[in-house]
Amino acid sequence: MMILLFFVLSVICVGSVLGMIISKNQAYSALFLVLAFSCLGGLFGMLGAPFMAVVQIIIYAGAIMVLFIFVIMMINLRKGISPERKKWTLAVSAVISVVLLAELVFAVLGTPPMPYTAAFSSGTSPTDIGRLLFTKYLYPFEITSVLIIAALVGAIVLVKKREKE
């Protein structure tokens, strides 16, 4: 039963990521990404990490992607990238994707294999995660939050500058 659910979710997840890349319409790409995030949430839930599952859905599917789609629908881009820019964006994105792929492969090879059940069996309740975040991982947690705030302030500053011109 669980293995069936796993295959259904992972097929939908990989399929929707492919759909996101192939789709010409940005709005459809964003919607495919939402589907992929929701399936990822389901997979986290199956691993016995309900908190991760729900946070995945609230933050990625429920908040970030809504803003993405909001902007895409407001701007309504039809043309895409112009042909002269297309050449070098293609080159740059090829290089970046090869680097990311290499990183991913090394990361996966570097992690010791873990049995399916042991991966998330302990410490997945909200209390455990909260305790870890505020003791062992306090500095990474605080630094990440400062980073996010800096990004927010930066975005506001950029928008304000354009208004003055």
- Residue ranges that bind another protein, judged by CB under 8 A: 27, 31, 34, 38, 50-51, 53-55, 57-58, 61-63, 66-67, 69-70, 73-74, 125-127
- Whose Cβ is closer to another protein: residue 103's or residue 142's? 142
Helices (H), 76-125: 83-110
- Quick one: tokens of 108? 């996966």
- Whose Cβ is closer to another protein: residue 22's or residue 104's? 22
DSSP H or E stretch at residue 31? helix 26-46
Cα(50)–Cα(56) distance, rounded to whole angstroms? 10
**CB 159, min distance to another protein, A:** 16
**CB 123, min distance to another protein, A:** 12
- Whose Cβ is closer to another protein: residue 94's or residue 133's? 133
- Whose Cβ is closer to another protein: residue 4's or residue 108's? 4
**CB 146, min distance to another protein, A:** 18
Cα(60)–Cα(111) distance, rounded to whole angstroms? 26
CA dihedral sign, ordered 63, 69, 70, 71: positive
**CB 25, min distance to another protein, A:** 10
**CB 3, min distance to another protein, A:** 18
Distant-in-sequence, close-in-space partners of 28: CB < 8 Å, separation ≥ 6: 19
Cα(41)–Cα(9) distance, rounded to whole angstroms? 10
- Whose Cβ is closer to another protein: residue 17's or residue 27's? 27
